[in-house]
Amino acid sequence: MAEVELPKPGELREHAEHAFSRRVALTTAIYAVVLAIASLGGNNAMKEMLLAQQQSSDQWAFYQAKVIREHQYRAQKLLLEAQLAEPSPLRGAERAKFEALASKFAEEEKRYNAEKKDIEKEAKTLEAERDRHRNRDPYFDFAEVFLQIAIVTASVSILSTSRPMFWFSLGLAVLGALLTANGFLQLFALPFLHHGAAH
């Protein structure tokens, strides 16, 4: 009868440790991919926030210019109306010219008022967009932290062949992945991440 050579316990342990190390290394590579996605999402959220802030500031400056022009036309219109209301030597064609001018100023005042409202609406839309991107950013920041710690603890688990350390790293990575997904999708809001964002 042929002799069956059983593997030595040391070899079995070494093989198990090698397989464990390979699995953890592969998992760590996945952590790194998710970390890169979180980092990209955070950078984009910050860029979009700054762009929307700049655009809303431009719109508010434009709005202010329209308000000034509207007030100028209103003041000129009121001045002409006051002059026309007083007894004056203005008659016929000359009076008609002043009335036409007052009417033109009234139309310009209305036009600037309407344009101002459109600009205000656009500025508020841009502010809402800025706030949305600002609210997304902390999720990516925290995701990056959790994923970086997950990578470190996974590396420690390889060196120490510690399964509990690996499971701990996996828990951190899952948390990081959830926060990354939420940064993109905004499925839930964590109040403590937004308290500084309120006006």
- The CA distance from 176 to 147, in Å, is 5
- The CA distance from 68 to 74, in Å, is 10
> In this model, does residue 171 exceed pLDDT 50?
yes
> In this model, does residue 9 exceed pLDDT 90?
no
Average pLDDT on 137-152 reads 97
163-185 helix and 9-85 helix, angle to the nearest 10 degrees: 20
Average pLDDT on 20-49 reads 96
CA 63-64-67 angle, 5° bins: 90
Banded pLDDT at 199 (limits 50, 70, 90): very low
92-160 helix and 163-185 helix, angle to the nearest 10 degrees: 170
- The CA distance from 36 to 161, in Å, is 26
Q: What is the pLDDT of residue 197?
A: 46
> In this model, does residue 112 exceed pLDDT 90?
yes
Q: What is the pLDDT of residue 17?
A: 79
> In this model, does residue 107 exceed pLDDT 90?
yes
Element (H, E) at 187: none
Domain ranges of the chain: 24-193
Enumerate long-range contacts of 60-63, CB under 8 Å, 24 or more apart: 60/123, 62/119, 63/116, 63/119, 63/120, 63/123
Element (H, E) at 128: helix 92-160
> In this model, does residue 135 exceed pLDDT 90?
yes
Compute the mean pLDDT over every residue in the chain, rounded to the nearest whole number: 89
- The CA distance from 120 to 118, in Å, is 5
Instruction: Tell me which of 45-59, 77-91, 156-170 is least confident.
Output: 77-91
Specify the amino acid at residue 188: F
Q: What is the pLDDT of residue 5?
A: 62
> In this model, does residue 97 exceed pLDDT 80?
yes
Q: What is the pLDDT of residue 198?
A: 41
Looking at the chain, how many residues does it have? 199
